[in-house]
């Protein structure tokens, strides 16, 4: 599989009051292969949503490049930009805020097609019905307004809207965290089914580790704007290397009472430092149970410690 998205040294700083800089994304590099689901996990405020939004060109980056199909997305001509907005779509976290309350489902789904001139004229309505059925709704829902639907149904509408543009890449920004657990499973299974049928590439942003493990092929762990570890999901969950990943994984409850009772949680001390004043050296050192003097001074680079397993930690040497 070839890389469809290649992110190189991406930086996004926001200027906050007092002229200080909030480093939402601080030099991250990774690539996503065509047709895979790439999970991006981390706690609130670690920059994962910002990363998704930079990829969608909602924000201009402070530095770095993103190549999609080999083209630098920040150096595109207006026609290329328009084609790019068709190719990359987004599914949002809050299904209540992501649909315009004044427009019918059909209007919302049709918007992308109208912008890009897909399925013109009489072909559009049948296509909308087809999309609704694809996501498990029916064509009677087309003329309804968002307030008439439940959260899970709205999220399905959001998925249908993203699919309307026939994208290659979908950025899923916590698409399930606002839903009930039973509905979460439905939506995740729907996403996986659609990915298989339509050959989509997903950037799946979430903080629910077990859900990410279930859906993702590879997972990247983010901490305070930097990447801590990248590996295939099976390896990351079985043999985590970075101390932050290890402590994160220790927080997942295990659905077996006997094992669960003996599970030992690694409770980190302190709070996440502010991204305005991030620590020098390794960003994780003030909370890291294994920190040494070097961690305070030097920032560890993200290196390939094992084949396809990347980790940014001084204590994890290249094997």
Partner 1 sequence: MSSIPKDKFTPVPKDIASAQKIHRPSLSYWQDAWRRLKLNKVAMFSMWFIAFMAIVAIFGPMLFPDYRDNHLDQTLLGPNSRFWFGTDELGRDLFARVIRGTRISLFIGLTASLITTAFGVVYGGISGYFGGSLDDAMMRFIDIISTVPDMIILILLLVVLPQGIPTLILAMCLTSWSGIARIVRGQLLQIKEQDYVLVARTQGASAGRIIAKHLIPNALGPIIVRLTMAVPAFIFEEAFLSFINLGVRIPEASWGNLGQSGVQQFQQHPYLLIFPALFLCITTLALNLFGDGLRDALDPKMRK
- Which residues contact partner 1 by CB under 8 A? 56-58, 81-82, 85-86, 88-90, 92-94, 97-104, 108, 111-112, 115-116, 136-138, 140-141, 143-145, 148-149, 153, 158, 161, 165
CA distance 57 to 71: 14
CA distance 46 to 260: 28
Q: How far is the CB of 307 from partner 1 (least distance, A)?
A: 35
DSSP, collapsed to helix, strand or coil, labels residue 155 as helix
Identify which of residues 81 and 296 has a Cβ nearer to partner 1 in the complex.
81
Comparing C-alpha atoms, which of 172, 164, 165, 207 is closest to residue 38?
Answer: 172
Comparing C-alpha atoms, which of 224, 205, 226, 227 is closest to residue 215?
Answer: 205
Identify which of residues 86 and 314 has a Cβ nearer to partner 1 in the complex.
86
Q: How far is the CB of 187 from partner 1 (least distance, A)?
A: 14
Q: How far is the CB of 191 from partner 1 (least distance, A)?
A: 17
CA distance 169 to 89: 6
CA distance 251 to 260: 11
Q: How far is the CB of 13 from partner 1 (least distance, A)?
A: 17
Q: How far is the CB of 91 from partner 1 (least distance, A)?
A: 9
User: How far does CA 203 lie from the centroid of its chain?
Assistant: 5
Identify which of residues 103 and 127 has a Cβ nearer to partner 1 in the complex.
103
Identify which of residues 158 and 240 has a Cβ nearer to partner 1 in the complex.
158
Identify which of residues 9 and 100 has a Cβ nearer to partner 1 in the complex.
100
């Amino acid at each position: 599989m070839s890389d469809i998205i290649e992110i190189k040294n991406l930086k996004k700083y926001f200027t906050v009051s007092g002229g200080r800089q909030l480093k939402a994304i601080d030099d991250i590099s990774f690539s996503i292969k065509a047709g895979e689901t790439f999970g991006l996990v981390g706690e609130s405020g670690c920059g994962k949503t910002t990363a998704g939004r930079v990829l969608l060109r909602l924000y201009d980056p402070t530095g770095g490049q993103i190549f999609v199909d080999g083209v630098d997305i920040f150096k595109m001509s207006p026609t290329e930009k328009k084609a790019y907005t068709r190719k990359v779509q987004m599914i949002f976290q809050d299904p209540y805020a992501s649909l315009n309350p004044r427009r019918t489902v059909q209007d919302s789904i049709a918007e992308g097609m109208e912008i890009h001139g897909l399925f013109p004229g009489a072909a559009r309505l049948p296509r909308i019905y087809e999309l609704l059925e694809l996501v498990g709704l029916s064509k009677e829902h087309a003329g309804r307004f968002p307030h008439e639907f439940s959260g899970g149904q709205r999220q399905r509408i959001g998925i249908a809207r993203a699919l309307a543009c026939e994208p290659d890449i979908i950025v899923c920004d916590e698409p399930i965290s606002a839903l009930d657990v039973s509905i979460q499973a439905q939506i995740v299974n729907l996403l996986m089914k659609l990915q298989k049928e339509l050959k989509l590439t997903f950037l799946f942003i979430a903080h629910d580790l077990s859900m990410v493990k279930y859906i993702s092929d590879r997972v990247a762990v983010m901490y305070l704007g930097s990447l801590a570890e990248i590996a295939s999901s099976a390896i990351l969950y079985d043999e985590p290397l970075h101390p932050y990943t290890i402590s994160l994984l220790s927080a997942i409850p295990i659905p077996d009472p006997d094992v669960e009772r003996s599970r030992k949680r690694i409770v980190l001390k302190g709070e996440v430092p502010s991204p305005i004043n991030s620590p020098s050296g390794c960003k994780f050192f003030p909370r890291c149970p294994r920190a040494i003097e070097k961690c305070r001074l030097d920032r560890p680079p993200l290196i390939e410690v094992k084949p396809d397993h990347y980790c940014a930690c001084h204590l994890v040497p290249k094997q």
